[in-house]
Amino acid sequence: MASCEMCGKDTTSLKTSVVAGSTMSLCTHCSIMGSMKQGEQVKSVGFKKFTHDDVDLEIPQNYAQIIQQGINKKHLTPHQVARAVNLKESTLSHYLKSQIKPDIVMARTFESFLEIKLVYEVTKKSIDVEDYKASSKDSSDDSSNKLANMFANLKK
Ligand SMILES: [Zn+2]
């Protein structure tokens, strides 16, 4: 039989709850108390962290080519482009020669002005799943959590 991590009571229906940022297996009573204690502030911080970790923004290696194609399509001179995106012409030429990689803000500016796709969202989900598997492999809590979830589903 598993016991509640908050009050230590032995119970067959443990619920996995997040209390103050850490995951705990709690009895029904404590999981209700835990969710009541959790303020709005904790929730919003957690959400921000999640979105930051989950999606990464990347600029492809051939960014210079993509920018150049955008410029060609619009029949613009480097001078016109530099003025439009508020860059020095010399800086723009560095980008076009692959000497400097634009940051996300700069890339977004090129995107909207030249109507090109320069920033890609890369999800890290697959990596997280691997981490999760590795860390929970030898955890004995895993089976008791499954049991708790089974009970939780039966009650619905
Ligand atoms: Zn408890």
Give tens-digit pLDDT for 76-115.
999 999 999 999 999 999 999 999 999 999 999 999 999 9
Do 114 and 67 share a structural domain? Answer: yes
Task: Output the pTM of the full model.
Answer: 0.47
Tell me the CA–centroid distance for residue 15 and ligand 1, in Å. Answer: 10
Do 71 and 43 share a structural domain? Answer: no
Tell me the CA–centroid distance for residue 131 and ligand 1, in Å. Answer: 29
Do 75 and 48 share a structural domain? Answer: no
Tell me the CA–centroid distance for residue 21 and ligand 1, in Å. Answer: 17
Side-chain half-sphere of 77: how many Cα atoms within 13 Å? 4
Tell me the CA–centroid distance for residue 24 and ligand 1, in Å. Answer: 10
Tell me the CA–centroid distance for residue 141 and ligand 1, in Å. Answer: 16
In a domain, 128, yes or no: no
Do 92 and 67 share a structural domain? Answer: yes
Tell me the CA–centroid distance for residue 25 and ligand 1, in Å. Answer: 9
Domain tally for the chain? Answer: 2
Query: Residue 148: which of 27, 48, 40, 8 has the closest Cα?
Result: 27
In a domain, 135, yes or no: no
Give the domain CATH number at 101.
1.10.260.40
In a domain, 123, yes or no: no
Tell me the CA–centroid distance for residue 36 and ligand 1, in Å. Answer: 14
Averaged pLDDT for residues 45-56 = 53
In a domain, 31, yes or no: yes
Domain extent, residue 31, equals 2-54+141-155
pLDDT classification of 42: cutoffs 50, 70, 90: very low
For residue 137, what pLDDT is reported? 47
Do 147 and 98 share a structural domain? Answer: no
What's the token pair of residue 47? 């959400």
Do 38 and 79 share a structural domain? Answer: no
Do 113 and 64 share a structural domain? Answer: yes
Classify residue 138 by its DSSP letter.
T
Query: Residue 11: which of 28, 35, 24 has the closest Cα?
Result: 28
Tell me the CA–centroid distance for residue 107 and ligand 1, in Å. Answer: 51
Tell me the CA–centroid distance for residue 6 and ligand 1, in Å. Answer: 5
Do 64 and 20 share a structural domain? Answer: no
